[in-house]
Amino acid sequence: MSKEEDIDGGKRPHNTELYVDVPRTRLPIVYHPAYNITFMGIEKLHPFDAGKWGKVVGFLKEEQFVSDENMVSALEATEEDLRVAHTKRYLSRLKWSVIVASITEIPPLMFLPNFLVQRRVLRPLRTQTGGTIMAGKLAIERGWAINIGGGFHHCSGDRGGGFCAYADITLAIKFLFERVEGVSKATIIDLDAHQGNGHERDFLEDERVFIMDVYNRYIYPRDGYAKQAIKRKVELDWGTEDSEYLQKVELHTEGTLNEVRPDIVVYNAGTDILDGDPLGGLSISPQGIVARDEIVFRAARRRGIPVLMVTSGGYQKKTARIIADSILNLHRQGLIGPEALEGEGSSAPQPIGSQSSLSVSSVHTSV
């Protein structure tokens, strides 16, 4: 780190490769094989499918919606990129394996040398974080973008937790505010089963960001301080089912977008609302998740508001299939797809500070 400035110091944005120009022949779907955490079986100690991101892409490839040639390859967020939201102190703490073990809830990590933790756990999370930031720019340019990973909504600038080590949602929004002219208001629609206390703490006093959050009121993190940041709070009871859930999601998504018209919607599409999820405690069906995603995309796209989706929590074996089905449904409904590229380029706000025209295609080969 060469600079000592405050994270919100109002200085010129740093050089970043995350705002590369992406050819229009690619879909704004961001992914990299490095998203997946595989590490001598240690990932199996966490109650989750640590390869779900690759499986989602595998299903999308099977259906011939995506290929290595038409997706966007995520780049790892650098320390300087991370400093846009994170304090130096927090990033230094991640150099202690015991702290990473606690944040990711994988206790055995505490016994590993930090270089291994960095390589096998934090690098995948930093690559997903880079993916969310990249998808933010793409959403503005194309009207929509999906990061197949990301959605680490329990992490704030100076605190991680609940498997979330980097505040990718905060970062994506701050990058847009700093670098894209005409983007000055963001709305976060957080529909993961858990309260999104990370971005809530980060934007607690920021009037530019409107937060709607729908979550199980009885589960982690129950962060009362962070709740003050929520402008539309929908607290659910144990075992909430499709009809009640979808009705509430539709009512409050429409209400939120009628109340404030943002320049971007960041949609945290956690699938731990699924019936049987060991952590979420809700009873939403696979069809309910597909319908939910459609409600959010329809509401944003109908109003011409760019939407950035991240996949967040939800790690049952069947989760990857449901996420893929939902993305395919969005395509079938005409809410996403190559055709959505047309006629949106000229009026879109122009990114500034884009320093690199690196080709991203070469990264694809490193499966």
| Interaction between residue 196 and Zn ion (CB under 5 A) | no
Min separation Cβ 272 and Zn ion, Å: 4
Q: State which of residues 154, 174, 194, 199 lies at the interface with Zn ion (CB under 5 A).
A: 194
Judged by CB under 5 A, the stretch of 23-31, 219-227, 250-258, 308-316 that binds Zn ion is 308-316
| Interaction between residue 270 and Zn ion (CB under 5 A) | yes
Burial letters 232-254, b for 16+ CB under 10 A, else e? bbbebeeebebeebbeebbebbe
Compare residues 101 and 191 and give the one whose CB is closer to Zn ion.
191
Min separation Cβ 343 and Zn ion, Å: 36
| Interaction between residue 313 and Zn ion (CB under 5 A) | yes
| Interaction between residue 161 and Zn ion (CB under 5 A) | no
| Interaction between residue 277 and Zn ion (CB under 5 A) | no
Query: Which residue of the set 32, 154, 194, 252 is catalytic?
Result: 154
Position 193: which residue type?
A: A
CB-CB neighbours of 220 under 10 Å: 15
Min separation Cβ 194 and Zn ion, Å: 4
Q: How many residues bind Zn ion (CB under 5 A)?
A: 6
Q: State which of residues 76, 223, 272, 293 lies at the interface with Zn ion (CB under 5 A).
A: 272
CB-CB neighbours of 5 under 10 Å: 12
Q: Please indicate whether residue 154 is annotated as part of the active site.
A: yes
Compare residues 270 and 288 and give the one whose CB is closer to Zn ion.
270
Distance of CA 318 to the CA centre of its chain: 20
Which residues are identified as catalytic? 154
**Residues interacting with Zn ion, by CB under 5 A?**
192-194, 270, 272, 313
